[in-house]
Amino acid sequence: MAQKPEDFNLPVSAISKIVKDAIPEGVRVTDGAKVALSKAASVFVLYATSSANSLSQDANRKRLLAKDVFEALNDLELDFLIPPLHNSLAAYRRSLETKKQAKESKKASSFREEEVAEDNMEVEIVENDSPDVITLNSESESEDEVVNNDSDSSSS
């Protein structure tokens, strides 16, 4: 857990990127302003989380759900934040689904490649007076296996 109050602060670099995207070009933000914005954002996140946690506990749950956060924002009279937050959550869930599908597709693709390699394996049987020799040839290697013919040994 956090040892000092500063441990709860959001990283100034992350806040700087958000501020840079939000303000017009050519506007400079001092380091002091960046630190103040970072602290303000941290306080807001902690306050919203605390409110959402209270709602979760009232519902006898130990986990915060998205609906708890949305309801907390509504209770804090910050309704204008709900639609953009809802859109961000939907985009995040879509990105997780895309990553999951890509991972499953990659896994299925490698499985199909293994099946194709096994299907391409050739079997050649050569008969002669000596014990039967079975030669297995694949693209990467070949193996020879000697099999004694039971009919030759039983006739002697």
Average pLDDT of the chain is 79
Region 54-71: mean pLDDT is: 93
Q: Where are the domains of the chain?
A: 9-77, 79-110
| The pLDDT of residue 105 | 83
| The pLDDT of residue 65 | 92
Binning pLDDT at 50, 70 and 90, where does residue 10 land?
confident
| The pLDDT of residue 145 | 47
The full DSSP string for the chain is --SSGGGGSPPHHHHHHHHHHHSPTT----HHHHHHHHHHHHHHHHHHHHHHHHHHHHTT-SS--HHHHHHHHHHTT-GGGHHHHHHHHHHHHHHHHHHHHHHHHHHHHHHHHHHHHHHT-EEEEE--SSSEEEEEE-SS-EEEEEE--HHHHH--
Lowest mean pLDDT among 42-51, 85-94, 103-112, 126-135: 126-135
| The pLDDT of residue 143 | 45
pTM score, whole prediction: 0.58
The domain at 9-77 falls in which architecture? Orthogonal Bundle (1.10)
